[in-house]
Structure 1
Amino acid sequence: MANILRRAGVDFPEPFRRFLEGDLDSWLRVEEFREAGTLVVKAEVPGIDPDNDVDITLVGNQLQISVRHEEKSEHRGKEGYRTEFRYGTFARTVTLPAPVNQEDVRASYTDGILEVRIPVPEEPAAGARKIPVSRGSGATPGSAV
C-alpha cells in the first residue's frame, strides 16, 4: 500500500497514511492548537526521561517528534519470579504552516505531558480584492492596441 501511495504522488494526512500502511503502533498521538501567535503541540508520554528519551527536530516546515519508552516490571513471590518488558519508539511529524526559526522553538515536559511551542507568523487576513477585467484579446488596460 505504501508503494501505491508514493507512486500516486498523493499527500495523505499522516494518521490516514499510517492507517493504510498498518503503522499505527508507532504513531505518537498529539494535540495541536494555536495560542496567541504560537502553535502548541502536546503529547501525553508518561514515564519517560525527557533528557534521554525525546528527540525533537525541525526540518524546513516539518517538526519531527520521536519518543522512546521503556517500561519494566518485576514480581517476586512465593510461587516464583515474573518480569515484563514493554518498549518502543513513537514518532510524529507535524507540518508547520510556515518555516520557523529553530532558535524560537521551545519544549517542556511536565507531569507526563510533552509540550512544544512554536511561534508562527500570523497569516494575513484573507481580504477580498476586485480583479479588473480587460476587454479585447488579452490587452491590459492602458495599453495600445
Structure 2
Amino acid sequence: MAGLLEWRPPVLPDLFDWIESGLGGFPAHRGVPGLHGIRVEQQLTEDAYTLRAELPGIDVEKDIEITVADDVLTLRAERGDETKDKHHTEFRYGAFVRSLRLPPGALGDEASATYKDGILTVTVPLATAEKTEARTIPVRR
C-alpha cells in the first residue's frame, strides 16, 4: 500500500515517560497539574490502524471522548478521585489527553472503539489503494 511504509509511529515514548515523570525526576519541572498523558500501543496493518490505550477505572459511557479531525485522533478521558482519606496514592486522577496523527489513507469517519479490562481499543480502517503500474507521461510542446 502506498504510504504504508512512510508512516511511522512516534519514536519518543521514553521521552514522553521522562517528561511525564517530572523531567527526569526534577519535581520543580512538573507538567500541567491535573493533565496527564495516556499510554498507548499502536499497530499498523495493510487494512487498519489500531490504537490500544491504558485507561483503567474509567466510566466508558460518560468519561471518554474520541475525536478525529484533520487526520489527528484525539482521546480524552477523566477519572475522578474516589477516596478522600488516603495517606499516599500513586493513582492519577483528573483529565487525560493524547493526540496522534493517523497514517495516510486512514478513514477516520469509519473508526470504531471498544473498551475491555481497562484497555480502550480504537480501530481505524485504511483505504485500500489499488496498485497501479508505472506509465510514461508524454511532454507536449
TM-score range normalised by the length of the shorter chain: 0.5 to 0.7
| Residue of structure 2 aligned with 1:69, choices 58, 79, 85 | 79
Taking a change above 3 Å as real, the CA distance of residues 110 and 22 of structure 1, as seen in their structure-2 partners, is: same
1:120 aligns with 2:130: no
Percent of counterpart pairs with the same letter? 27
Q: So what's the TM-score if we normalise by structure 2?
A: 0.61
Between stretches 39-48 and 64-73, larger displacement belongs to: 64-73
Match of residue 56 from structure 2: 46
Gaps of 5+ in 1: 1-12, 75-81, 132-139
Deviation at 1:73, TM superposition (A): 2.4
Counterpart CA distance in 2 for 1:118 and 1:108 is 12
Task: Give the number of the structure whose residues are more often strand, by fraction.
Answer: 1
Q: 1:27 aligns with which of 34, 37, 40?
A: 37
Cα distance, 1:35 vs structure 2? 3.8
Q: Which amino acid aligns with 2:115?
A: Y
Alpha carbons 1:72, 1:83 under 8 Å: kept? no
SS of residue in 2 equivalent to 1:66: strand
1:90 Cα shift? 1.0
Return the offset for 1:15: 5.1
> In structure 1, the residue corresponding to 2:36 is in which secondary structure?
coil
SS at match of 1:109: strand
